[in-house]
Every structure is written in structure tokens, then in C-alpha cells.
């Protein structure tokens, strides 16, 4: 039995992970975390998730919840995730992090902490999206510089970071396959008179509306044809199930920094 600690247990993703843990035989909800002052503190995590009593109250006592051998699952904020990961590393635990929006310095610290404990970091836990990463690398490699690359993504109005971590990862995969430096060729939206599109740029556009779970489209536009790859998430359960698959992987992994590509054997 693998003991799981869910951070952000009352949030969109956290509550779905709590709910789906009830359906597993090899994973157990050991603790549920929320930020200090959150209205769900003290309530039962299962009841908050809408799946009945789980006998696990939501708490803000992070250090007490994280123990050796336990797997932390994070879909919160970069600051909270990094703070929790420091405690995981100090206590000999393990972590699956789906949080997005990390700054470069924060990612560098995660890499250092992963030398001490197993950490899985992925901007998207969906099996379909991670297969798309592999396909995009192949598509970009074959199509080459003759095709313009544009990425659009749309999420619900409550999403705080833009572009999404998934869109950025798609852009990174494509840029690497084309031998480009994303920091130099990325274009985030256009306005006014930006001039003619350059051959090397990779466009990334973010839309926010309603309750959209997540949709990403990559367009390869050539002269006379256009090739598109689209992934649409209809439910957050696709991310939650992927996260539980990641938990099973990281529970027996050696210290290091992993991704969903490792979980799915796509590397």
C-alpha cells in the first residue's frame, strides 16, 4: 500500500485525486493539505471531494503530514510546491508535482532537491498529451524549417499562469527538434504592426474562457497545406488518473528528476 499526501486537496485537481484514490486498492490517502486559513480546513477530505467520509481531515500542518516513504502529490502554486518539496527532501519522502508556472531559479532548485529524493515533475499528467509531446518532436523533425509553427491553448477563466505549462512544453519540444533556442524565437501574441512573420519564430497564444478544462492545438503551416495536432481534455480525471499512475512509478524510483515520459516509457 502506497501512502499518498494530496496538497491542495480542496482544489480542482486535488479533490479529483482524493476522489479517485477511493477507487484504488494499492494507493491510500494518508493526508490532505490546504493553505492556512482555507475554509475547508478541518473538514473531511472525502466529503469535500464529494465521495463520502474518508476519515482524513484537511490540515495545514504540512511537516506533520509528510513522512518518509509517503508520496506527495502537488497541484498548487510554485511557491507552495517548492516549500513542500524542501520538506519532502528533508524527510526522505517522494513527490509528484503537476504545478506549473515555475521560474527558472525555482526549477533549478527542484533539480537540486531531486538529487536527494525521487521527484516527478510534469506540466501535464495526461497520457494523451505526453504521447503528443513525442509526436510533435517527430512532426517538427520531418517538416523542418519550411513549416511555420503556431500553438494555441485555451483554459478556464480561473487559470493563473499563461501560457499553460503544457503549451510551453510543446514549444520546447518543437524548438529542440528544430535546433532553435525557444527563448529567442518564441512570440507570445501579436499586436499592432509586428511585421512579417519570421521563419524561425514559434507563436504561442493563450485564451481564457468559462470552464474549459484544457485544449491545445499545434499548427504546422506550409505553402499549400496545414497540419494540426489537437488535444482536448474533457475532464480533469484524465490528469488525475495520470497523476496516480505517476505515484505508482515514483514510489519505487531511485532519487532523481523524472517526467511522465519516464512513466510511459516514451524516452
Provide the annotated active-site residues. Answer: 155, 159
Are the C-beta atoms of 13 and 80 separated by less than 8 Å?
no
What is the edge-to-edge ordering of all strands in the sheet holding 27-33? 58-59, 27-33, 2-7, 71-74, 94-97, 118-121, 256-258
Placement of cell 512573420 in the chain: 197
Cα distances from 267 to residues 37, 100, 143, 161, 217, in angstroms, run 42, 22, 21, 28, 23
Q: Which of 126, 118, 117, 70 is nearest to 98 (CA)?
A: 126
Helix axes 165-178, 127-143, angle to 10 degrees: 30
Q: Which of 187, 217, 183, 216 is nearest to 199 (CA)?
A: 187
Amino acid at each position: 500500500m502506497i501512502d499518498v499526501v494530496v496538497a491542495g486537496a480542496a482544489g480542482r485537481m486535488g479533490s479529483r485525486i482524493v476522489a479517485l484514490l477511493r477507487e484504488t486498492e494499492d494507493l491510500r490517502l494518508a493526508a490532505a493539505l490546504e493553505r492556512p486559513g482555507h475554509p475547508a480546513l478541518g473538514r473531511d477530505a472525502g466529503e469535500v471531494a464529494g465521495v463520502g467520509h474518508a476519515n482524513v481531515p484537511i490540515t495545514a500542518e504540512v511537516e506533520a503530514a509528510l513522512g518518509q516513504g509517503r508520496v506527495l502529490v502537488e497541484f498548487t502554486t510554485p511557491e507552495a510546491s517548492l516549500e513542500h518539496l524542501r520538506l519532502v527532501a528533508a524527510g526522505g519522502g517522494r513527490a509528484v508535482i503537476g504545478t506549473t508556472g515555475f521560474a527558472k531559479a525555482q526549477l533549478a532548485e527542484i533539480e537540486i532537491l531531486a538529487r536527494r529524493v525521487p521527484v516527478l515533475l510534469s506540466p501535464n499528467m495526461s497520457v494523451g498529451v505526453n504521447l503528443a509531446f513525442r509526436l510533435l518532436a517527430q512532426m517538427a523533425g520531418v517538416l523542418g524549417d519550411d513549416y511555420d509553427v503556431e500553438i494555441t491553448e485555451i483554459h478556464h477563466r480561473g487559470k493563473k499562469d499563461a501560457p499553460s505549462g503544457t503549451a510551453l512544453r510543446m514549444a520546447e519540444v518543437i524548438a529542440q527538434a528544430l535546433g532553435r533556442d525557444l527563448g529567442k524565437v518564441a512570440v507570445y501574441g501579436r499586436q499592432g504592426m509586428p511585421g512579417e512573420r519570421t521563419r524561425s519564430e514559434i507563436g504561442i497564444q493563450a485564451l481564457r474562457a468559462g470552464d474549459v478544462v484544457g485544449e491545445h492545438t499545434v499548427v504546422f503551416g506550409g505553402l499549400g497545406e496545414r497540419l494540426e495536432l489537437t488535444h482536448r481534455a474533457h475532464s480533469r480525471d484524465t490528469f488525475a488518473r495520470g497523476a496516480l499512475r505517476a505515484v505508482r512509478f515514483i514510489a519505487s524510483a531511485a532519487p532523481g528528476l523524472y517526467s511522465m515520459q519516464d512513466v510511459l516509457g516514451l524516452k
